[in-house]
């Protein structure tokens, strides 16, 4: 018997002894993100959720979302987001969420990476969206996957020009962003005929299936960590890609998924800050101090994993509390997340930031 056959035999024996059957290929796909987040939260000692504040926040979030008529339509109302309901928007969203990470800067507001577009100065996430829109206006096919792997045309200089700043600071993690474009372009060419819509079609309208497809085929979407010796999945950019498609197409066409409720909050660095400001999430004194001093937290550090896991589980508890208040509310983890991100940006703009966001430099968020 070959080693491989021995492995299979042992695996089957182990499964039988544990009473776990082989994976049923017809079972609906699961991402396991929410299960992993609950595990992290149940085993966290430096980050804790607060149910009293979660219940209070559920009231105020539901009221504000109803008052603003908050729905997936908000996505297209953002000035810079693409409006066309066609493949160009699919390609734009894929490019955007391939690079949707780590915009924070250690420089001042004036010196940080910034992009001026349509007479406005954009920073953070919006600087990425503005740079992509500006490139398209300048006839650079920056949202075309075949362009990313054509190194004669898509040179590093062209990409530096696309992501040029108003300031001396270059776009954070510029080199890593180029690598993401090259890698994703190669995988799309090899497996999906350089077509993002072909990738979406392979998921057969399953949100979880599309998230898993991205994590399986594209290393730069495989956002996983180890916590207490266990592998945990966050899959932030894979999930926000599905959510952005769902919102941009208002649940139709390329945004039509039969299991969109399986998408969780996106474990970034803004929503945890908002959950803390609402009192829903609290940090141990050493972690609180590290964040307030703006000291780096290394990617993969237990503190970072606890913040990310507790944030995902915290938004799930918020969602449950909101539905207890109004079982008919059209609210899922995506809309709560979008709402909290936008609220965090409003608070940042009005200088009401109660605590800084945590500083981790990584391509995952």
Residues noted as catalytic: 268
**Rg of the chain over all Cα atoms, to the nearest angstrom:** 21
Closest CA to 145 of 92, 67, 106, 215: 92
Buried b (16+ CB within 10 A) or exposed e, 173-202: beeebbebbbbbbebbeeebebbbbebbee
Positions in the binding site for ligand 56B (CB under 6 A): 74-75, 78, 100-101, 103-104, 124-125, 266, 268-271, 337-338, 341-342, 365
- Per the listing, tokens 């290929």 go with 25
Got the DSSP string for 12-52?
Answer: HHHHHHHT-PPP-TTSPP---HHHHHHHHHHT-SSEEE-HH
Spatial CB neighbours of 198, under 8 Å, sequence gap ≥ 6: 192
Closest CA to 133 of 117, 151, 149: 117
**How far apart, in whole angstroms, are the C-alpha atoms of residue 307 and residue 41?**
9
CA distance 257 to 210: 10
> Which tokens in the block code for residue 154?
């898509």
Question: Which residue lies nearest ligand 56B, judged by its C-beta?
Answer: 124
DSSP string of 284-297?
Answer: -HHHHHHHHTT-B-
3-state DSSP assignment of residue 115 = strand
How far apart, in whole angstroms, are the C-alpha atoms of residue 168 and residue 102?
Answer: 18
CB of 66 to ligand 56B, least distance (A): 17
In the block, tokens 């693409």 appear at: 82
Which residue's structure tokens are 């420089």? 107
The nearer residue to ligand 56B, 166 or 202, going by C-beta atoms, is 166
Cα 294 to chain centroid, rounded: 22
**Rounded Cα gap, residues 92 and 136, in angstroms:** 10
């Amino acid at each position: 018997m070959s080693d491989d056959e021995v492995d299979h035999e042992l695996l089957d024996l182990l499964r039988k002894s544990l009473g776990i059957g082989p994976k049923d290929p017809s079972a609906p796909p699961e991402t396991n993100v929410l299960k992993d987040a609950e595990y992290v939260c149940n085993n966290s000692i430096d980050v804790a959720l607060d149910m009293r504040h979660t219940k209070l926040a559920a009231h105020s979030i539901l009221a504000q979302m109803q008052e603003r008529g908050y729905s997936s339509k908000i996505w297209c109302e953002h000035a810079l987001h693409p409006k066309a309901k066609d493949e160009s928007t699919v390609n734009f969203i894929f490019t955007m969420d391939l690079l949707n990470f780590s915009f924070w800067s250690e420089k001042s507001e004036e010196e940080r990476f910034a992009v001026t577009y349509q007479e406005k100065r954009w920073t953070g996430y919006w600087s990425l969206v503005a740079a992509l829109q500006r490139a398209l206006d300048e006839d650079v096919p920056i949202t075309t996957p075949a362009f990313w792997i054509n190194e004669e045309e898509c040179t590093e200089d062209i990409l530096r020009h696309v992501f040029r700043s108003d300031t001396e600071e270059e776009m954070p993690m510029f080199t890593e962003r180029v690598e993401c474009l090259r890698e994703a372009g190669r995988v799309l060419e090899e497996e999906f005929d350089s077509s993002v819509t072909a990738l979406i079609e392979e998921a057969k309208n399953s949100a979880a299936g599309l998230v898993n497809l991205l994590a399986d085929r594209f290393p730069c979407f495989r956002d996983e960590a180890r916590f207490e010796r266990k592998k945990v999945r966050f899959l932030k950019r894979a999930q926000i890609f599905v959510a952005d498609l769902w919102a941009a197409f208002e649940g139709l066409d390329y945004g039509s998924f039969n299991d969109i409720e399986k998408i969780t909050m996106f474990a970034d660095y803004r929503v945890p800050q908002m959950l803390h400001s609402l009192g829903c999430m609290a940090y141990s004194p050493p972690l609180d101090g590290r964040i307030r001093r703006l000291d780096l937290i290394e990617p993969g550090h237990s503190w970072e994993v606890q913040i990310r896991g507790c944030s995902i589980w915290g938004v799930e508890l918020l969602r449950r509390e909101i539905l207890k208040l109004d079982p008919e509310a059209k609210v899922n983890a995506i809309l709560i997340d979008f709402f909290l991100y936008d609220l965090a940006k409003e608070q940042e703009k009005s200088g009401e930031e109660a605590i800084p966001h945590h500083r981790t430099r990584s391509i995952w968020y």
